Every structure is written in structure tokens, then in C-alpha cells.
Amino acid sequence: MPICDLDKRRPHAKKVIGLDVVVWWDRNGETWKVFDDRCPHRLAPLSEGRIDQWGRLQCVYHGWCFNGSGNCMFIPQANPDGPPVHTAKKGVAVYPSTVQNNIVWFWPNLDPRYKDILVEKKPPYIPEIDDPSYTNLMGNRDIPYGYEILIENLMDPAHVPYAHHGILEILPSKNR
């Protein structure tokens, strides 16, 4: 996800290789976070919630609030004299994530053995994207089909002058 397409003021729903995730800006940790898009309470989509005034991700259904580590820090209905809510085991599943080349990357596996995977295994780095002497343009589209369909399309240049008529410049043809 290019960060230029992400708004820090709200959570974003994304579906990536069949995984429903919520991407949100953790202002306390000053980093983008990628969580499983299911509240551990009653499974409401966290992407439909909000960032609360303390920078936590708040569920839209009953208002539970989660910090950047996925820990529940506030339950509005909890007895104030009860045990601290963060001692409860109800946390959100957090995917390992990082920012590189102004893109949010995440490791699509919640197995705890991959918790620190991005420390040792970085996403592919493209130096030209960070080089100010190059011009780059990023965009993001959510397309509801698998990558294998997209690859088939990209390997089919014959469709370009017609499916993208008037959008892409076509080189002059000798056979006109």
C-alpha cells in the first residue's frame, strides 16, 4: 500500500491475497500498523472503527480500544473497579509490517515465529523510488481478482490500443 494513498486519520480496509486486514496509523508508535480486520470481542471489522483521541484503534461496535501492539487498552463497559483491561487475553492479531520505498509492506502470516521476520528479511528495495533525481508516480487500485489474472493481462500487449484507447500514447505503426 503506497502511503500516499493512506489517510492517517482513519483505518483502512484492505483485502490482500484473501486476507482481510486493517491498516492504520499508530501515532504513538509513529508507524503504520497492519492488523487482522476482526475485533477479538465480537469480530466486527476494525476498519469500520475510528482512531480515538489517544491514537488508539477503536472498534465501531462496542468501543474497545487497541494500541499498536494489538493490546486492548480500554473497554467502555468494564467495571472501573475491576482488573485492568490490558491484562485480559483479548488482543488483535498483528501482522509484521514495515515501510520501505514509501510503501507499507506486511508479512501475511500470523505465526509467532515470524514476529520479527522483517528485521532480517526486508521487502525488495528499489533505490530509484527514493532517489529524488528520479520522478515516480504511485497509485493504488483494489481490483477484485487474483494476481494470476492480472499477470495474464500484463502479458497481453495486443489489448492496449483498444482497451486503453485514448489513454496511452501509441507509437506510429508502419502498417497504417
Q: Which of 64, 66, 105, 107 binds ligand FES (CB under 6 A)?
A: 64
C-alpha to C-alpha distance for 42 and 48, rounded to whole angstroms:
14
C-alpha to C-alpha distance for 110 and 118, rounded to whole angstroms:
13
Q: Which of 32, 56, 8 is nearest to 118 (CA)?
A: 32
Q: Which of 27, 41, 50, 90 binds ligand FES (CB under 6 A)?
A: 41
Stretch that binds ligand FES, among 13-21, 40-48, 86-94, 164-172 (CB under 6 A): 40-48
Q: Which of 6, 22, 23, 39 binds ligand FES (CB under 6 A)?
A: 39
CB-based contacts of 127, cutoff 8 Å, min separation 6: none
Q: Which of 10, 15, 62, 115 binds ligand FES (CB under 6 A)?
A: 62
Cβ atoms within 10 Å of 77's Cβ, excluding its own: 7
Does 59 interact with ligand FES (rule: CB under 6 A)?
yes
CB of 64 to ligand FES, least distance (A): 4
By beta-carbon proximity to ligand FES, the closer residue of 22 and 103 is 22
Q: Which of 122, 70, 71, 67 is nearest to 99 (CA)?
A: 122
Backbone angles phi, psi at 74, to 5 degrees: -155, 130
Does 42 interact with ligand FES (rule: CB under 6 A)?
yes
Binding region for ligand FES (CB under 6 A): 39, 41-42, 44, 59, 61-62, 64
